[in-house]
Structure 1
Amino acid sequence: MNIILVTIAYPPEIRSISTMTKELAEELVKRGHQVTVLTSWPKYNLSGEAEGKRFNADSMENGVRVIRIKTLPHHKVNYLLRGVAQITLPFFFMRSFKKLVKDKVDAVVVYSPHLPLAQVGARIKRMYGVRYLLNIQDIFPQNAVDLGILKNRLIIKFFERMERKAYSEADAITTHTVGGRQFLIERKGVPSHKIKVVENWIDVGPYLRMRASGIFRARYGLAGKFIFLFPGVFGPAQNLDFIVAIAKRVSGIHEMCFLFVGDGTDKIRLQEQVRAHGLRNVIFQPFVSSEEYPLLVKEVNVGLLSLGGDNKTAAVPGKLLSYMAASLPVVAFLNKESEGHRIINDAQCGYAIIPDDVERAAHLICDVFKNRGQLDELGRNGYDYVTKHFSKQACINALERLICV
């Protein structure tokens, strides 16, 4: 089959969704399909090495045709400009698609965010009469409403209409959590037969091949430190003020530090907050490449997850699976609806609480540090669980069945 895969992010951008779409595309090629990825031009969440690299608008990468599309800025701009950029995405994507894709298409898969990209899937479906699968990672606009980003009722209604149309035009919808599926059925009226749960996956291979070498500890000047790591995007949803508040309360434990590796809209504000409090136990570093990331998580002691209590959906941060693949114990501060609580408890790979009490959270961090002799067992539990329940092959099998009906 000739499959079009539409996604806002693809490597070298460093995001869970970019890694997954790359692995999906390359696996489908191995299975005999022809895959073309439509994605935005790499500008955000890049490692230092990738920032200076030149990219082609149309290239073959590991058997996958990748079409990169220049769009309006949709990161590190105010929310009004970001909204305009998102609404115009279908125009830019369809313009490149019509110009560059001449072969007959058999199926289209769209990953959301961003929701307007669903219009690309619907248009390709109408053009070719093909099957259209919509994968929902974040439930928008609900997540933006929960976080207080969207407040204007007219704008909310505009995006809710877009959302209803997206769900109605897709032939099948997938979400990565049971709670997300129930939310879409009960709150959004999506027919139950139309929506399936297909978990996000992790390829444990790169984590098995890596051994901690101390390179990142040396690079960051953290030799001998007990490191709590938060890698990824620093935005409103991540509620990282809560982690900084914890760091302030445990700053007297000099062996302990909190390492933030990544970037995002909240980074400068968080750095100013750390300076204002005079915290020496919080360190910020830029993104590392996807190739180096497994080594980074192998060198730290605990992986952190954080989602604000204002979130009302069942979303699970993608980095949870990478921690488990690396046999890294987890401490999670997640909204009560997140299925991360269930996964961590079932796996017995760490601790998960609601982020409603900084003092309680600081006590948990201190207990983890005090009882660090138990962490290896938690890490092994996580690895065993992720290999059993989040296999790349099993998850892609499920997606392929939905695509190739």
Structure 2
Amino acid sequence: MRILLIHQYFLEDNDGGGSRWNEMSRIWTEAGHEVVVLAGMVHYMGHRPEHYRGQYFYQYTNRDGIQVIRCHVSESYNKSFLGRLWAYFSFTFSSILGGIRHARGKYDIIVVTSPPLFVGITAVALSWWKRTPFLFEIRDLWPESAIDTGVLTNPWIIRFAYWFESFVYRKAKLINVLTPAFRQTLLTKKGVPAHKIIFIPNAADFTLSEEVMQQFDCCQFRREHGLEGKFVVTYVGAHGVANHLVQVLDTAELLHDTNALFLLIGDGMQKKELQLDAQRRGLTNVRFVDSVPKREVFKYILASDLGASVLKKVDTFKTVYSNKTFDYFSCKKPVLMAIDGASRELVEEAQAGTFVEPEIPEDFAEKVRFYMSNPELIVQQGQNGYRYARTYFDRDVLARKYLEYIKQI
């Protein structure tokens, strides 16, 4: 098959961040299919590579043999809400043009993954232009998540977003959801017929984790990075409004009398503010690490005692699976799950961690102290998570199942 993927935040080869579609595209390509990607020039954490400056389109083939067409995104992305909104629409316009001018030829299917929701405009336009059906993937309930976190407040934009969401759902041949809670919301609140909805969730990349584990020297890594004698709790992901990482700083402050060290790996709109806050408080047990490639992320996780999944306490986030949780599972690390709802149920079902009351640092600190006193539980729960993910959330297995759904279209 020939597949056109529309993904504003498709990663560069050595970028840190959510790599779901880089891995999915690699597996599909290895299975003999051709994948062409329309992607943006700005990473979802806000930075733009220097070689894209002054470019409107930039084409190349990545290390997995996938043709990537980078399309213009406004540099106002990190300046304000209106700047981010304009960045979304600038990609919409440039990706439509890029799809017409550069992603030429016939395609069997167009796959579009959101957020942002507005990539649906590109999908509808190119579906009509190329006379090709499209599959719409929901990685986050939008506009609900933007409303609940206070990012989206304008009533006119909210009204348009809900109308457009419904319009895209009607036009899509299939809709993929990443959690059972998403499916329930679409059925009961959005009026989407059941036959349109499929479920291919986030998953663990065992291909990479197994390779890293075979060659990894944990003691040496901990020595080189100043982690010896520390009880390391690692968070990997965005540092934005939705993540509310101030609760990690609050927890670190409560644990100043212990050897706990919190590693915050990634980037985002609030990172500088968090760094200043940690400096003001004199938190020597919090360390910020810039975004690193997935291979390096796994090394940090393997050198840690626990992984942390953290989001702001809002109802919409009760419907999500935190994608970093699967990285912790694949590296045999228990998860401190500071997200209620679907993510909590996932960890408790797997017996691979413990729930932390979101935005209650006292509970967070108590759970860390509990694991410090029970090292045998860390090993046991790490193994539990690994086995559970192997059984139900293996990326390779799910990518091939995804292909079977696409073939039906």
Partner of 2:392: 389
Residue 220 of structure 1 deviates from its aligned partner by 3.6
Give secondary structure in 1 for the equivalent of 2:284: coil
Residue 7 of structure 1 deviates from its aligned partner by 0.4
Of the structure 1 ranges 255-264 and 65-74, higher mean CA displacement relative to structure 2 is found in: 65-74
Partner of 1:378: 381
**1:290 to 1:57, Cα distance in 2 relative to 1, 3 A:** same
1:259 counterpart = 2:260: no
Offset from partner CA, 1:96-132 (integer Å, 9 cap, x none): 1211122112210001011111111112211232221
Partner of 1:275: 279
**1:321 to 1:399, Cα distance in 2 relative to 1, 3 A:** same
Offset from partner CA, 1:247-306 (integer Å, 9 cap, x none): 1111111x1111111111111111121122221111111111123222121111110111
1:106–1:128 CA contact under 8 A, matched in 2: no
Partner of 1:167: 169
Give secondary structure in 1 for the equivalent of 2:321: coil
| 1:55-204 → structure 2 map (5 Å cutoff) | 57-61=58-62, 62-73=64-75, 75-204=77-206
**1:385 to 1:110, Cα distance in 2 relative to 1, 3 A:** same
1:75–1:265 CA contact under 8 A, matched in 2: no
Identity of aligned residues (%): 25
Taking the aligned partners of 2:233 and 2:107, their CA distance within structure 1 comes to: 46
Taking the aligned partners of 1:138 and 1:6, their CA distance within structure 2 comes to: 16
Of the structure 1 ranges 378-387 and 183-192, higher mean CA displacement relative to structure 2 is found in: 183-192
**1:71 to 1:35, Cα distance in 2 relative to 1, 3 A:** same
Unaligned runs of 5+ in 1: none
1:296 counterpart = 2:300: yes
Give the partner amino acid of 1:38.
Answer: L
Taking the aligned partners of 1:215 and 1:166, their CA distance within structure 2 comes to: 51
1:11 counterpart = 2:16: no
Give the partner amino acid of 2:4.
Answer: I
| 1:236-385 → structure 2 map (5 Å cutoff) | 236-253=241-258, 255-313=259-317, 314-334=319-339, 336-337=340-341, 339-385=342-388
Partner of 2:2: 2
Give the partner amino acid of 1:372.
Answer: P
Q: How many positions carry a matched residue from both structures? A: 398
1:9–1:15 CA contact under 8 A, matched in 2: no
Residue 143 of structure 1 deviates from its aligned partner by 0.1
Taking the aligned partners of 2:106 and 2:194, their CA distance within structure 1 comes to: 31
Partner of 2:231: 226
Give secondary structure in 2 for the equivalent of 1:135: strand
Give secondary structure in 1 for the equivalent of 2:183: helix
Give secondary structure in 2 for the equivalent of 1:263: coil
The TM-score, its normalising length taken from structure 2, stands at: 0.92
Taking the aligned partners of 1:199 and 1:142, their CA distance within structure 2 comes to: 19
Taking the aligned partners of 1:398 and 1:148, their CA distance within structure 2 comes to: 36
Aligned-residue RMSD, C-alpha: 2.1
Taking the aligned partners of 2:375 and 2:87, their CA distance within structure 1 comes to: 46
Q: After TM superposition, where is structure 1 displaced by more than 6 Å over at least 4 residues in a row?
A: 52-56
Taking the aligned partners of 1:4 and 1:69, their CA distance within structure 2 comes to: 14
